[in-house]
Amino acid sequence: MSAPSHPRPTACLALADGSLFYGMGFGATGQTVAEVCFNTAMTGYQEVMTDPSYAGQIVTFTFPHIGNVGTNPADDESGDPVAAGMVVKWMPTEPSNWRNAQELSPWLAARGRIAIGGIDTRRLTRAIRHTGAPHAALAHDPEGNFDIEALIAAARGFAGLEGMDLAKDVTCAQSYRWNEMRWAWPDGFAPQVDAKHKVVAVDYGAKRNILRCLASAGCEVTVLPATATYDDIMAHDPDGVFLSNGPGDPAATGAYAVPMIRDVLNKTKLPVFGICLGHQMLALALGAKTIKMSHGHHGANHPVKDRDTGKVEITSMNHGFAVDAQTLPDGVLETHVSLFDGSNCGIRMADRPVWSVQHHPEASPGPQDSYYLFERFAEAMADRAVATPA
């Protein structure tokens, strides 16, 4: 008998509705269960996989050329991949990039992350868009042996992200200082030596490039765990407070984060700046509500309109929950909206330097249209220093 024209599948993605996607596995072997989302970015797959905001999610990449530049330590947004798994159309090819340090498959395997290639990612993406982000089980077995009923049952047994506080799983274990600035040719990541503002960054799953952007804007950054209290923050005598990105349900994380933020707002006049989950935490602290989105926003080409200036910015996004703009209280203004679906992308207090955005101005991966927000934060701290001299 002649050999089969197609190799036996070594990976399977089983959705809770019974849909099955067979392909070829790479990375680690085994099984994982999570929510499936899709990301439309054409670059930055390593940054996506190591973004703590993707905890509890399997990422489907709509761009087919994933793995072609390999991996390298400089592109990690956290110590290890946080996304539960990876779905791609084409199997990774041999890397062709001068920065490559390790091919994608062994990089994933060494970090315990499962991936599947060779599937119809367009079909999967359509399903996600039409019915919402599904729960799924992803299995990789080099022998191609799968218990399909057990995989579907595992997918159906996944509790989902609503009600899950995942920030506690990805936050730092203890406080630390950060002084590395944004990458610049030819020296790479230079240390910051001329800080002008002391910032406490609350880590709900902070990306390294966000911390680099704060440092590049002139901030001396001290990072505190997600459970930091008002007293913990004020012990560092900050000029401003930053609320980071992160994963999970903002209402769940808000159980301990919101009281701290309210104390900062009620007891000080410090500038406050939030991104992503930090944006949602600030909104909850101000009295608004958050909602679960159907399939969320994940990509590097999302148009956002600044309602104050009328300017449209192309932004990077990664979120499955959103602030319900209709619940914003008096004195809190909606500053940015998505031009894809009109969802909220930014708020600010009318009379104080307190604001936040849903999108990612650090742009890793993505455009840098919104980097000015870090400079605005630094300017707010400088203005406060002038108004309240020591």
For the record, the structure tokens of 166 come out as 């995942």
User: Does residue 162 form part of some domain?
Assistant: no
- Tens digit of each residue's pLDDT (9 = 90 or more) over 59-87: 999 999 999 999 999 999 999 999 999 99
Cα separation, 33 vs 184, in Å, equals 38
Rounded mean pLDDT of 188-213? 96
DSSP conformation letters of 31-64: EEEEEEEEE--SS-HHHHHT-GGGBTEEEEESSS
Query: pTM value?
Result: 0.96
Among 35, 77, 220, 362, the active-site one is 362
- Residue 4's pLDDT band (cuts 50, 70, 90): very low
User: Does residue 6 form part of some domain?
Assistant: no
CATH of the domain at 358: 3.40.50.880
Measured CA angle at 269 (ends 266, 273), to 5 deg = 95
- Tens digit of each residue's pLDDT (9 = 90 or more) over 303-340: 999 999 999 999 999 999 999 999 999 999 999 999 99
Average per-residue pLDDT for the chain? 96
For residues 111 and 135, state if they share a domain: yes
Residue 2 clears pLDDT 70, i.e. is over it: no
- DSSP for residue 23: E
CATH of the domain at 141: 3.50.30.20
For residues 146 and 191, state if they share a domain: no
- Tens digit of each residue's pLDDT (9 = 90 or more) over 225-250: 999 999 999 999 999 999 999 999 99
Dihedral angle, C-alpha 270, 214, 321, 268, nearest 10 °: -10
Strands 30-39 and 57-61, bridge-based pairing? parallel
User: Does residue 97 form part of some domain?
Assistant: yes
- Residue 167's pLDDT band (cuts 50, 70, 90): very high
For residues 100 and 238, state if they share a domain: no
For residues 102 and 176, state if they share a domain: no
Cα separation, 373 vs 218, in Å, equals 13
User: Does residue 1 form part of some domain?
Assistant: no
For residues 101 and 231, state if they share a domain: no
Cα separation, 355 vs 286, in Å, equals 11
For residues 52 and 90, state if they share a domain: yes
- Residue 187's pLDDT band (cuts 50, 70, 90): confident
Q: What percent of the chain stands above pLDDT 90?
A: 94
User: Does residue 299 form part of some domain?
Assistant: yes
Domain limit, last residue, from 157, 191, 218: 157
User: Does residue 39 form part of some domain?
Assistant: yes
- Residue 388's pLDDT band (cuts 50, 70, 90): confident
Task: List the domain range (segments joined by +) for residue 373.
Answer: 167-387
Q: Is 135 a catalytic residue?
A: no
For residues 86 and 153, state if they share a domain: yes
- Tens digit of each residue's pLDDT (9 = 90 or more) over 91-125: 999 999 999 999 999 999 999 999 999 999 999 99
Pairs from 351-356 (Cβ < 8 Å, separation ≥ 24):
352/269, 353/271, 353/272, 353/380, 353/383, 353/384, 354/265, 354/271, 354/272, 354/282, 355/272, 355/273, 355/274, 356/243, 356/272, 356/273, 356/274, 356/275, 356/278, 356/279, 356/282, 356/283
Q: Identify which of 325, 337, 329, 310 has the alpha carbon closest to the alpha carbon of residue 280.
A: 325
- CB 172, CB 225: distance < 8 Å: yes
User: Does residue 300 form part of some domain?
Assistant: yes
Rounded mean pLDDT of 53-59? 98
Strands 332-338 and 289-306, bridge-based pairing? antiparallel
- Tens digit of each residue's pLDDT (9 = 90 or more) over 6-32: 579 999 999 999 999 999 999 999 999
The sign of the CA dihedral 23, 29, 31, 34 is negative
User: Does residue 60 form part of some domain?
Assistant: yes
For residues 269 and 340, state if they share a domain: yes
Q: Identify which of 173, 213, 221 has the alpha carbon closest to the alpha carbon of residue 196.
A: 221
Among 77, 276, 313, 319, the active-site one is 276
For residues 291 and 364, state if they share a domain: yes
Q: What is the pLDDT of residue 390?
A: 57
Match 């410090």 to its residue by tokens.
270
Mention every residue, 6+ apart, whose C-beta is less than 8 A from residue 64: 88, 89, 90, 121
Cα separation, 76 vs 379, in Å, equals 29
Work out how many domains the chain is built from and give that number. Answer: 2
Q: Is 362 a catalytic residue?
A: yes
For residues 339 and 222, state if they share a domain: yes
Region of residue 163 (phi > 0: left; psi between -120 and 50: alpha; otherwise: beta): left
Domain limit, last residue, from 157, 187, 221: 157
Cα separation, 280 vs 299, in Å, equals 19
Q: What is the pLDDT of residue 280?
A: 98
- DSSP for residue 102: B
Beta bridge partners of 135: 35
For residues 117 and 44, state if they share a domain: yes
Domain limit, last residue, from 125, 157, 189: 157
Farthest CA pair distance, the chain: 86
- CB 190, CB 184: distance < 8 Å: yes
Alpha carbon distance, N-terminus to C-terminus of the chain: 86
Q: Is 276 a catalytic residue?
A: yes
104: helix, strand or coil: helix
For residues 112 and 211, state if they share a domain: no
